[in-house]
Structure 1
Amino acid sequence: MGRFKLFVPLIVLLILLPLFYVGLSLDPSAMPSALIGNPVPDFELTTLEDESRTVTAKQLRGEVLLLNVWATWCFACKAEHPYLVRLAEQEGVKIIGINYKDERAPAQKWLKDLHNPYEYSLFDNEGRLGLDLGVTGAPETYVIDREGVVRYRHIGVVDERVWQETLKPLYQSLSKN
């Protein structure tokens, strides 16, 4: 029995090794979303740019768009921002922002200083829309079809690779319909 105890760590390691291998091969940005195939949750929020302008989920219908969750406290959002500006200005991609758990004045300054790629940004300072969307952190980007249905969720920075390989084909496909 004493010799068997020497092999217990090896047996445990052999059992855990396949689990570690599978875990390392998964893409952490490919988290499934319960919203895929469902409408954007109902909401009524003011825009960051104009406190008197209220937007609802129904107003997201009619065009294919990217719904981008961002915040001034998010370092990855700052890295992503110039690429979103390029998508909006050079490729004409319609992007709606969700300013998530942030303060209005710093967020407005951010957009003024770094250029604004958004048609408008929803001001979700309490994070309720983010919670309904299942946001795990910023940045996150959702592809929304003409009917206001969530078609894809990307967690992390949108860059050239993500745009070209994943988001652009879906965006263009939905835009043709």
Structure 2
Amino acid sequence: MKLTALVPLLGATALVALLGRGLLQHDARAEPTSPLVGRPAPVLDLQKLDGDAAPQPGQVWVLNVFASWCGPCRAELPVLGQLAEQGGVRIVGLDYRDTPELGLGFLKRHGNPYALTWLDAQGKGSLAWGITGVPETFVIDKHGIVRLRHTGPVTAEDLNQRLLPLIRRLQSA
């Protein structure tokens, strides 16, 4: 084989190797950006589904968007219960595109970690938060500024490595 025929083959091999390396180094857990992070949390004026312990000014709180028809939402409920206990924060639920009966039935069957739950039957409140799917979770600081957007179910790893450290830091600030 001639050297001139080998050069394109080596170049193509090097290109494939670089592209493969870049794909392997991509952090699949990286959060998508949100225009809300660093900005005031949108105010929700929705029907209350359950609870009455709304977050007060000066408190760190968490908004979790869920739906009764969402399997990953069900899976994260025990972790959200741990967050409410360990983090000392109010968790507000936003029931996305559900009926009151389905939302309340879901919380009764699978546990309710929320101090307050709003019903967003038409998705208007979720639109203000830029929700792209359920579940999604937001951490809001004492000044009402969104500090974190987490897409997908909150796992024990997410709780211990991301949410609790951030919440504790915000509470002590």
Q: TM-score range by the shorter chain?
A: 0.7 to 0.9
Deviations along 1:106-165, one digit per CA (max 9) or x if unpaired, are 110111222211011111111112122111111111000111110011111112110111
**How do residues 148-163 of structure 1 correspond to structure 2 at under 5 angstroms?**
148-163=144-159
Taking only aligned residues, the RMSD between alpha carbons, in angstroms, comes to: 2.6
CA shift at 1:104, angstroms? 1.1
Q: Alignment partner of 1:80: what SS?
A: helix
Asked if the contact 1:61–1:145 (Cα under 8 Å) also holds between the matched residues in 2, the reply is no
CA shift at 1:81, angstroms? 0.8
Partner Cα separation in structure 2 for residue 130 and residue 18 of structure 1: 40
Q: Alignment partner of 1:175: what SS?
A: helix
Unaligned runs of 5+ in 1: none
Partner Cα separation in structure 2 for residue 96 and residue 123 of structure 1: 11
Asked if the contact 2:67–2:95 (Cα under 8 Å) also holds between the matched residues in 1, the reply is yes
Q: 1:137 and 1:17, CA in 2 relative to 1: closer, same or farther beyond 3 A?
A: farther
Partner Cα separation in structure 2 for residue 20 and residue 121 of structure 1: 45
Partner Cα separation in structure 2 for residue 17 and residue 129 of structure 1: 45
Q: 1:46 and 1:19, CA in 2 relative to 1: closer, same or farther beyond 3 A?
A: farther
Q: Alignment partner of 2:65: what SS?
A: strand
Deviations along 1:12-69, one digit per CA (max 9) or x if unpaired, are x97677556535513255101111110112331121127xx8x8xxx66331011101
Indicate whether 1:92 and 2:84 are aligned: no
Aligned to 1:22: 22
Unaligned runs of 5+ in 2: none
Partner Cα separation in structure 1 for residue 30 and residue 49 of structure 2: 27
Q: 1:156 and 1:29, CA in 2 relative to 1: closer, same or farther beyond 3 A?
A: farther
Runs of 4 or more off by more than 4 Å in structure 1? 13-21
Partner Cα separation in structure 2 for residue 18 and residue 69 of structure 1: 39
Identity of aligned residues (%): 37
**How do residues 13-92 of structure 1 correspond to structure 2 at under 5 angstroms?**
18-19=18-19, 21-24=21-24, 25-49=26-50, 61-89=57-85, 91-92=87-88
Aligned residues: 164
Asked if the contact 1:97–1:121 (Cα under 8 Å) also holds between the matched residues in 2, the reply is yes
